[in-house]
Amino acid sequence: MAGVIAAVAIGLLLVAPGTQASAEIRPVPEAEGYEYLPGEPAIWGSVGGTVGAYYDKACTGGYAIAGDSGFFLTTAATCGWMIASDRSIRGEAGNYADVFATRAEDPTVLLKMRPGNNAYQIIVDPTTGSSPGSGMVQGWTRSVDQPVGLLVGKMGIDTGWTEGKVLGTAPGRFGELLLCTDAAASAGDVGGPVWRYDSNGLRALGTVVALTDAGGACYRPIQETLYHYGAYLPSFGPPQGRPSWGTFAPGMVAYQGTVNATYSGRTIDKGDDWRQ
């Protein structure tokens, strides 16, 4: 089928192991033949609590990116209080991926899909199943081409498909700069894809990694994420290769408000459905 993202791998160091789950948690089945789409649930297993009372963090999955010998899914590092290589990620059909690695320079984290599952670069609203246009991503937009006032869309498991305008930049979790918007978002939407659909087709803009005090989404531009991981974005359009470090658009301003960029995700009981 056209659009299948071929298996490729980015060589990165694994991070420290995390907390062990208790025997009292609900079992989660293994996904088989899962077809992941950007915007679908990315629920972190056993991220906190005490023995016998573990909980999950319900977040949203972002784009698939690829390197020399593997492909990975992206989501927000703020979904987990500890980024651990044994942290399982589940969706509709059960566990489909595991946390693989992160970089201190970027607020995203890479997820490695488990064998027997696949990913398609087709954006979907997880709450309705709808997509902008065909949903097929034609490529990505440079940071410099994302100015103040640009209309963007985002997908997330809490508020679904929302749209808004770029308002300005704000510092993120590691001091990196994010683009903040007035596109509505809440805790479970972090990790989701930010996009724009216009005469150039459907294009990836970035990943939701923080929330504003006004309930808007802040995102890490996709160019910076690709640069830090030495990766490229598989798409249905012409190849764009691996980008260099980007710069923000002329006339960019600072966001006038506060931003939560440290810890997010919606808390749900271990093994529970992500729907509110």
As a whole-number percent, the residues of the chain with pLDDT over 90 amount to: 65
Measured distance CA(190)–CA(210) in Å, rounded: 7
Which of 114, 113, 112, 132 is CA-nearest to residue 122? 132
Distances (CA, A) of 14 to 69, 87, 102: 16, 12, 8
Q: pLDDT tens digits for 156-173? A: 999 999 999 999 999 998
Candidates 3.40.47.10, 1.10.10.10, 1.10.1060.10, 2.40.10.10; CATH matching 139-260: 2.40.10.10
Q: pLDDT tens digits for 84-125? A: 556 789 988 889 998 887 887 889 999 999 999 999 999 999
Q: In 3-state terms, what secondary structure has residue 120?
A: strand
For residues 218 and 69, the model is more confident at 218
pLDDT band at 47 (very low <50, low <70, confident <90, very high): low
Domain positions in the chain: 139-260
CA 69 vs. chain centroid, Å, equals 21
Q: In 3-state terms, what secondary structure has residue 223?
A: helix
Q: What is the mean pLDDT of residues 128-145?
A: 98
Q: pLDDT tens digits for 114-129? A: 999 999 999 999 999 9
pLDDT at 137 over 90: yes
DSSP 83-114: --TT-EEEETTEEEEEEEEE-TT-SEEEEEEP
pLDDT band at 272 (very low <50, low <70, confident <90, very high): confident
pLDDT band at 155 (very low <50, low <70, confident <90, very high): very high
Measured distance CA(2)–CA(148) in Å, rounded: 35
For residues 15 and 217, the model is more confident at 217
The whole-model pTM stands at 0.87
